[in-house]
Amino acid sequence: MDLQAMRREYLQGGLRRRDMASNPHEQFAEWMRQAIEMDIIDPTAMVLATATPDGDISQRIVLLKGFDAEGFVFYSNYDSRKGRAMTANPRVSLHFPWHALERQVIVAGQVDRIPEARSAEYFHSRPRESQLAAIASEQSQPVPDRDALEQAFRRLEKEYAGREIPAPDDWGGYIVRPERMEFWQGGRHRLHDRFEYQLQAGGNWALQRLSP
Ligand SMILES: Cc1cc2nc3c(=O)[nH]c(=O)nc-3n(C[C@H](O)[C@H](O)[C@H](O)COP(=O)(O)O)c2cc1C
């Protein structure tokens, strides 16, 4: 396996300042639209990186469930490893690795929980099995074996048979409010294009090109 010899040119296109939207939300919307149109696998999958106050960094994939000028929304367990890290330190980073488009988007900002009512609404829009699984799983905690998980699932299935499953207290949505967003497009000879938006004190976005 000769990994050193593996390389390819990035030839799909370049990024010019004149092509960049005046704010990162519009730019992101355009790139997300293109990622969905290209039919790439899981275009909404993003890596969420968290850090505890003493610098213990961890990452995992979560699915983006909505975005607008305010921020990026995803759902998870509030008591999970990531949930605890975000309670202790709300500074997080998101990464969209869109290899098929030779693109990546990197977001840095502050995370917050979304209102309970909105989480409950989304919870109830999910398939019943997903609702039960969210309750059955004490995410990130050790579990003796697969059987224990399945038993918990079946117990809940019986308990809530024929009635609405209440949205759990320890599960819900987060919103990442961006302060910095980078748009990266692979370029010929490794001269990639990078543009970074930075939130200014007055709420406007400044745009600068970064060296590849
Ligand atoms: C494609 C994909 C999508 C995922 N989406 C979510 C999600 O939206 N929310 C979530 O909590 N975990 C999701 N996961 C599982 C997480 O990556 C992770 O294993 C889990 O949240 C526990 O992370 P933690 O122990 O760091 O808190 C997803 C995993 C994959 C591979």
Cα of 123 to ligand 1 centre, how many Å? 16
Say which DSSP state 114 is in. P
Which residues pair with residue 113 across a beta bridge? 174
Beta bridge partners of 108: 93, 180
- Token match 């098929």: residue? 100
Q: Residue 111: exposed, middle, or buried by beta-carbon count in 10 A (0-12, 13-18, 19+)?
A: buried
- Reported pTM: 0.97
Ligand 1 atom at minimal distance to the Cα of residue 63: 8
In 91-204, the DSSP E strands lie at: 91-98, 103-113, 171-185, 193-199
Token pair listed for 191: 């001269």
Tokens of 155: 């117990």
Quick one: which H or E segment has residue 35?
helix 24-37
Residue 13 has pLDDT above 90, yes or no: no
Distance 30 CA to ligand 1 centre (A): 25
Q: Considering 33, 190, 194, 209, which one is annotated as catalytic? A: 190
Ligand 1 neighbours, Cβ below 6 Å, are: 42, 45, 58, 60-63, 74-77, 80-82, 139-140
Q: Is 190 tagged catalytic?
A: yes
Q: What is the tens place of the pLDDT at every residue in 157-192?
A: 999 999 999 999 999 999 999 999 999 999 999 999
- The whole-chain average pLDDT of the chain stands at 97
pLDDT digits (tens, 9 = 90+) for 142-156: 999 999 999 999 999
Which domains, and CATH codes, for the chain?
A: 8-126+168-210 (2.30.110.10)
Q: Which amino acid is at 176?
A: V
% of the chain at pLDDT higher than 90: 99
